[in-house]
Amino acid sequence: MNHAVHNKIVSFIWSIADDCLRDIYVRGKYRDVILPMVVLRRLDSLLEPSKEAVLREVDFQKNQMGLVELDGKGLEDAAGFVFYNTSKWTLKKLFAVAGNNQQVLKANVEEYLSGFSANVKEIIEKFNLKAQIRHMAAKDVLLDVLEKFTSPYLNLTPQEKLDPDGNPMPPLSNLGMGYVFEELIRKFNEENNEEAGEHFTPREVIELMTRLVFEPVKDRMPPVITIYDPACGSGGMLTESQAFIKRETGRQADDGYIYLYGKEINDETYAICKSDMMIKGNDPGFIRPNSTLSTDEFSGRALISCSPIRPTGKAGPVSRNLSRTGPTSLTPGSR
């Protein structure tokens, strides 16, 4: 990964908050806009090349097949991803046609958000993004934020592009996008002086835990690996486990043999985790909301269980051993 490029992107995005949101939001609330907008821009950039194909598929299903409810599988195939958008809008088009009327812009953005598939709509809901769109429109900064996120100097696409000065901007892979997103989360957590464990686990702790769990069994990994974090937070333990397996075994993590599962009770961190899974090419449907101790939605599956970390000195439900044993499962210390 080219961390110099990634850090430049992080700095550009970080500057958007100071340029557009100062005095509109208190500093601790910048993340309420920036994190969901980063997710939105990345998903938008992935879907942009297939926009016309998706619109043709919508027209085919409505006018030729006569469907009242659109077939999601056909739309996913047209989009090339497990998510899609059926509106006529992209973020660039929203900015290009925007006038000075913030209410018209707000209506167009809301139409765009409503065109997403159900899995992205859930992320939008958990981030409470529509409320932020209304607030920014009321404060006359929605257009400014859109301008920044669609800037020709910001490349969140997986293709190399040239900036207006003719300088190449490297492509941003799923792994690179994950790094950018994680770095923004870290900076916001530090900015808000949040305790380690309150909404995130420090990266060095996650790396140590991952090594403790997987080092003893790295030479005996089954052909298909399913990993479960019962209190997954923003997903760091899951994605670091995936990265460790790829790094130590030499097998490519995007070959479809590692499946990441998790549950998270906090709405924002759940949305962050699900977004991160989607951005990195993992199946977001395996991340579920609410408490693991209330419902076991993954019963009957063979999973490697990652133990949740509770913040020191904070009360919480007693963790249970939720690992499933089976012919293709491994638990730490097994022989």
pLDDT at 221 over 90: no
Opening angle at CA 165, ends 161 and 171, nearest 5: 20
**pLDDT at position 182:** 79
**pLDDT at position 306:** 65
pLDDT at 139 over 90: yes
Q: Choose the weakest-confidence range: 90-94, 295-299, 300-304.
A: 300-304
**pLDDT at position 304:** 67
Residues 283-291, mean pLDDT to the nearest whole number = 90
pLDDT at 206 over 90: no
> What is the spatial distance between Cα 285 and Cα 301, in angstroms, rounded to a whole number?
15
Higher pLDDT, 122 or 248: 122
**Positive/negative CA dihedral, 78, 80, 86, 90:** negative
DSSP string over 92-133 = HHHHHH--S-HHHHHHHHHHHHHTB-HHHHHHHHHHTHHHHH
Hey, what domains does the chain have and what are their CATH numbers? 3-179 (no CATH), 194-305 (3.40.50.150)
Residues 58-76, mean pLDDT to the nearest whole number = 95
- Residue 10: count other Cβ atoms within 10 Å of its Cβ: 20
Residue 220 carries which side chain, given as an amino acid letter?
Answer: R
What is the layout of strands, in order, in the sheet containing 225-229? Answer: 287-289, 258-264, 225-229, 304-305
pLDDT at 316 over 60: no
Most confident of 141-155, 215-229, 231-245: 141-155
For 228-273, write each residue's pLDDT tens digit: 999 888 888 898 888 888 888 776 545 568 899 999 998 888 998 8
Please tell me the number of Cα atoms within 13 Å of 218 on its side-chain side. Answer: 18
Average pLDDT of the chain to the nearest whole number: 84
Helix (H, G, I), strand (E, B) or coil at 269: helix
